[in-house]
Amino acid sequence: MGLIPAQIIGTGHYIPEKTLENNQLAKKFDITEEWIYSRTGIKSRHIAEEHHNTSDIGLYAALDAIKEANIETKEIDMIIFCTLTPDMLCPATACILQSHLNAYNAACFDLEAACAGFIFGLSTAYQYIATGMYKTILVVGADLLSRFTDYEDKSTSILFGDGAGAVVVRACKENSFMSFVLGSAGSLHQMIHIPSSGTNKSSLSPFLNIKGKDVFKWAIKTIPDIVLSSVERAGISLAEIDYFIIHQANERITVAIAERLGLPTEKFLSNISDCGNTSAASIPILLSQSIKNKIILKGQKILMIGFGSGLSWGASVIEWKL
């Protein structure tokens, strides 16, 4: 028996209403709005309400995806919640989401690969379906980075926002998934980290720390090769990719990657101007927006790639079937 085909049959996203605009940060740090935008491509970012947890914003995105997929929550066999900002260390945020959805047939777990998390989760979902173990899986990417951002630090407070995205993956007659490439470079783990967030108490800092220049250099050197590996594994050429959805880390990174690949930036979908860096949520949010706005159409090939803390990366080529 061969692998069972699978597709994304529903997408969803949630972006909080409250925004943190460049003019607010410019006044705080005595800089200009243009200074922030020129270095990041960001004009505003969204901040969740204080009473919202990661499971709450994940719920809104999940309900959106479930509605689009036209399924009942009892049909969900598994929930994979990709986040680096869980509601608490235990139980898994996926279990809390399950209770909100009343998805009582689902096995649940969290997956932490930071900004690459959604692709890791999507790969995991595909493998469970392809091997026949499960039929319908909900994958959520959600983060509340505002809770771990030091708003006295100019370099990080201008980058991060909150948000959630979700997809429903299901066994189907035609396969949408053409390739996956996953990887990690643990020797670079201190490039992006939250020092005092687990059992390691060697630091008192509870905030996200990022060596931006080092990450930029690594990304523009490494990501193009991962893109090429992804299309090669998919058995197609780079020219056959209709759109790229790259983790929305920094617009300068995206532009530099496009230039290194010799591709027009128009092929690289973006929402960083309005959303900032939303970690595990950035790819599913942008995918959902692009589907709902009919930018991505049936038959088009999409390459998604996430990268971040770990350092870890994940890429996937899919053909959109709906």
pLDDT computed for residue 309 by the predictor: 97
pLDDT computed for residue 203 by the predictor: 72
90 counts as catalytic: no
pLDDT computed for residue 311 by the predictor: 98
Catalytic residue among 247, 250, 271, 275: 247
Catalytic residue among 108, 115, 175, 275: 115
Give CA–CA dist 137/124, Å, rounded. 10
pLDDT 10s digits, 189-233: 999 999 888 888 777 788 999 999 999 999 999 999 999 999 999
pLDDT computed for residue 176 by the predictor: 98
Give the residues across from 304 on adjacent strands: 245, 316
Show the low-confidence residues of the chain (pLDDT under 50): none
Catalytic residue among 175, 209, 250, 277: 277
Residue 38: partners with Cβ closer than 8 Å, 6 or more residues away:
none
275 counts as catalytic: no
Give the residues across from 168 on adjacent strands: 10, 138
Alpha helices in the chain (DSSP H): 22-29, 33-40, 54-69, 93-101, 117-130, 154-157, 212-234, 251-261, 272-275, 282-292
Please give the share of the chain, as a percent, with pLDDT higher than 90: 95
Q: In the numeric block, which tokens belong to residue 104?
A: 């009582």
pLDDT 10s digits, 273-290: 999 999 999 999 999 999
The one-character DSSP state at 5 is P
70 counts as catalytic: no
Instruction: Please give the full DSSP string across 34-89, using - where no structure is assigned.
Output: HHHHHHH--SEEE---TT--HHHHHHHHHHHHHHHHT--GGG--EEEEE-SS-SSS
pLDDT computed for residue 204 by the predictor: 75
Residue 33: partners with Cβ closer than 8 Å, 6 or more residues away:
22, 23, 26, 43
